[in-house]
Structure 1
């Protein structure tokens, strides 16, 4: 992305989005706002319906999800794998509905149904005075979970900007009402600056970012391109790398946020060992609620050798 394009994407002034070309996006934002006013139980029911529709109407994403679950859960029968695929679509449908809750509802609205676990690990790490890198994952509760985290800690976030500048403005402004700063995904200088100020920064490593700056570490026993930037950041800043996760509860409407002890001996000086530890940490959390993960992403797109077959190629 060019610097000019990046600057345009990061423009969060609503006054710059008043021309007719932005009206369809404004209409979509309005629909998201309206949906966010519904009770949380309705949100979950509608989200499951959205997920069921997507399961049938987006075969490409269904194929990617089926491939990921087949690779990551070989111990399940074909019927169990397909049931998990479908349930994953339902969970991510709820996640779509929760975007509006995260953007337009104050997290205090959900304090009564939110529980936090392990907050003492954050407090201990902050006392070191070198900042915290919160090692998260792309769970389907991504947006609302992040908003709920702000009930308990003061943090910043790293985000991949939306391609639509107006949607990005709405998203960024919403997140900065809950977090301190929403840093661009490539803003390493800004990240290091915030850590130096003993800030907490939400950070995720569990997607395929291409072949640059990676090692191939096991993720559910499948070699996955994993960025080494986490080790570089921890090495340069001296920050604590602290795992956390957030999930919907089974059987009742509510959310749980988990903070864990910091990664031990991290960075170790061995990029592969560090990446393996990070992946296993995220994998452990995914296994708690496997349907609540973003399996629609091509996590294994980059292969150890360019000559390796594409795992997501559809056969006829």
Structure 2
């Protein structure tokens, strides 16, 4: 994207941030419908993912779910305007915590916040950053202007520490040792390196085994945190799950399998909000054909 179009997009986002949140629901649905028909490669990815994960649904049900998902993805992109430009007080009003006491009980200890890829992920990250100084991973973007603003969005509030994936586990270990909560997003296909194949919705899926490894290295408690878009533009809810007990074990595969099973459980509560546009099953076990 050229500088002109990048700045044009940023200007449009700045204008959009004045809109009330329910307006983003309507605009997102319209834009999502348009993207569903124009973005054929991603539409294909979503359809394949949904067919693999929800074979019990009819084709019409999966198609409706796919369209709802595109609406959520479009809305989440547009709503970054609020996260980047709106006052802190507005974001606080729009996002509420659920079971915050579970997190508060672990503050001052090494803790890994397991944050699956739901479309409200950035809302949860921003709201947590207003109350807690955390660490998280960041992948630099090729577009330097976009990279600058994404960094701005991630570091607007509090004293946040962004770690590069190139730094490996050292930065994470230091953050955990300093008792910074680590906001961790491990549920994407990062290729065969550091991955093992465990089921995700019954499909053998390349899954990085970082969660049990980091929990062992940092002697950290794993606390699931899931951000949910509430109906009709009523805002967002950041829910803290139960802290995991008896984790990690000495069985790396079982520990990684447990992570996927936990994410599955959350996905079933709001399937349209999970990040299905990602090629989650791109890496296949040796000898298996490509899926996409």
Equivalent-residue separation in structure 2 for 1:172 and 1:142 (angstroms): 15
Pick aligned residue for 1:159 from 138, 148, 156: 138
Aligned to 2:73: 92
Equivalent-residue separation in structure 2 for 1:95 and 1:71 (angstroms): 24
SS of 2:137's equivalent? strand
Aligned to 2:152: 173
Q: Does 1:309 align with 2:289?
A: yes
SS of 2:66's equivalent? helix
Conserved? CA contact 1:101–1:144, under 8 Å: no
Structure 1 runs (4+) greater than 6 angstroms displaced: none
Q: How does 1:182-193 map to 2 (within 5 A)?
A: 182-187=162-167, 188-193=169-174
SS of 2:231's equivalent? coil
Query: What's the RMSD between the two structures over aligned residues?
Result: 1.7
Runs of 5+ in structure 2 lacking a partner? Answer: none
Conserved? CA contact 1:95–1:142, under 8 Å: no
What is the TM-score when the length of structure 2 is the normalising length? Answer: 0.93
Aligned to 1:244: 225
Q: Does 1:31 align with 2:4?
A: no
How many angstroms does 1:23 deviate by? 4.0
Conserved? CA contact 2:121–2:226, under 8 Å: no
Equivalent-residue separation in structure 1 for 2:150 and 2:225 (angstroms): 22
Pick aligned residue for 1:116 from 93, 97, 101: 97
SS of 1:27's equivalent? helix
Pick aligned residue for 1:284 from 223, 247, 265: 265
Aligned to 1:300: 281
SS of 2:67's equivalent? helix
Aligned to 2:205: 224
Equivalent-residue separation in structure 2 for 1:250 and 1:28 (angstroms): 27
Q: 1:108 to 1:163 in 2, by over 3 A?
A: same
